Chain A
Amino acid sequence: MIDLSATARDLVQTEEHFETIDPILDLSERSMLAIGAEHHLRDINIERWRWDQPEILMSWLPFRRETHIGKNIRVLVKVEQANAFRVYFESNAWYDERRGPGMLIRYWAHFPAGDIPVDGAQEAAQDEQRWINKYIQDAYGHVADAKEVTLDQSIIIWSDGSTESIGAVMSIPPVDPEQ
C-alpha cells in the first residue's frame, strides 16, 4: 500500500506551492471531464483542495438519484522538492446503509492506480497530459460502471465519531446503460 500521508515538511512545501500545483489539477480535470463524457457518467461533481489537500476529486452516482452508492477518482499531488512533484491516482467505490439515527454502515473499496513524477507544474502540458489521461483511465477501469465492483471493506460509523470494523463484503452491480 502506498503511504500518501503528509508530514509536517510536506505541509510546509504544499503551502509554498499552493498556486503552482493548480496547473497539474487543471490537466487532471480536463482528463476527468473527458472520462465523464466518454462514459456518460451521471451527476458528476468535481472539486479541488478539499480540506486544503492538493487534490482533485471527481465523483458520480452510478445509479441516478441513489445517493447512497457512489464512485470517485482522485488525483493527489505531493511536493517532492522545489518544483518537482509526484502525482498519485486512485479510485474508490462505496455503499452507505443507514441503520437508525446516528449509525452508518459504510462498505467501500479502494484502488490505487499508480503514480508519475511531474517536473515544473507550470510547464506541465502535453507530455504530462498523455500520462495523466492514461492513469485516470486506469483508475476509472477499476470502478467502471459497466463492471461489478466488490466492496471488500466495511465499518460502522456512529454520529459521535466512534467506529467499529465489520468483516462484511458486498457488491455494486454493473449499471444497465438503458436504466
Chain B
Amino acid sequence: MAQDVYYRYFAHPSEIAQLRRERMVLTSNPNRGFKTWYTTTRFDDPALAQQLLTLSYVPEYRVGPIRADEMPDFDVHGQRIVQPLGNMPGGAIEVCTTQPAYLFGCYNFPNNDWEPL
C-alpha cells in the first residue's frame, strides 16, 4: 500500500532562509514549541492552498513531497480536516509536529556549505 506524503506551505522569509541554510523544515515561529503544520495535498495553485488550509497569507513556497516514513512523529496532532475560517472553507488534511524534518542533501564539511546536486 502506498504511504502518505506530506507538504508544507509557507511564506515567512526567515523560514525559507532557514530551509536553504540547514535543509531543515521547521517553523521560524518560536511560540508554543515550534509547532509546524503539514498537509497531505499537493497544491499547484497557491490560492487554492490558501482556501483549503484557511491561511491568512498566500503561500510562496511548497516543500515536499516528504514520505511519511521520513517525517517526524506528529506529536501535536495526527491527520484531521481543516476547519473553515476567515470565510474560507478549509477541508484539506493537516498534521502538526514540533520536530524538524530534514531534507536530503550533501554537506561539504571543509567548505562549510551544501553541495549543489
> Within 8 Å of chain B (Cβ to Cβ): is A59?
yes
**Interface positions of B from 4 to 62, Cβ below 8 Å from A:** 9-15, 27-32, 35, 37, 41-43, 48-53, 55-58
Instruction: Find the B residue at minimum CB distance from A18.
Output: B29
Q: Are A11 and B57 in contact (CB under 8 A)?
A: yes
A146 CA / B37 CA spacing, docked (Å): 33
A55 CA / B83 CA spacing, docked (Å): 14
Q: Are A157 and B89 in contact (CB under 8 A)?
A: yes
Q: How many Å from the CB of B57 to the closest CB on chain A?
A: 4
Contacts of A48 in B (CB 8 A): 31-32
Task: Give the B interface residue count (CB, 8 A).
Answer: 40
Q: Mark B71-99, 1 if CB is under 8 A from A, else 0.
A: 00000000001011111011110101000
Interface residues on A, range: 35 or more
Contacts of A161 in B (CB 8 A): 41-43, 48-49, 52, 92
Residue from the set B9, B41, B43, B96 with the largest chain A CB neighbour count within 10 Å: B41
Q: Which residues of B does A touch, CB under 8 Å?
A: 9-15, 27-32, 35, 37, 41-43, 48-53, 55-58, 81, 83-87, 89-92, 94, 96
Q: Which residues of A does B touch, CB under 8 Å?
A: 1, 4-8, 10-12, 14-15, 18-19, 22, 48-53, 55, 57, 59, 70, 72, 74, 76, 90, 92, 94, 96, 104, 106, 108, 110, 112, 153, 155, 157, 159-161, 163
A/B interface sample: 30 pairs, CB < 8 A: A1-B87, A4-B56, A5-B56, A6-B57, A8-B11, A11-B12, A11-B57, A12-B13, A15-B13, A18-B29, A18-B30, A48-B31, A50-B35, A50-B96, A51-B9, A52-B10, A52-B12, A52-B29, A76-B56, A90-B86, A92-B85, A106-B84, A106-B89, A106-B91, A110-B84, A159-B41, A161-B41, A161-B42, A161-B43, A161-B92
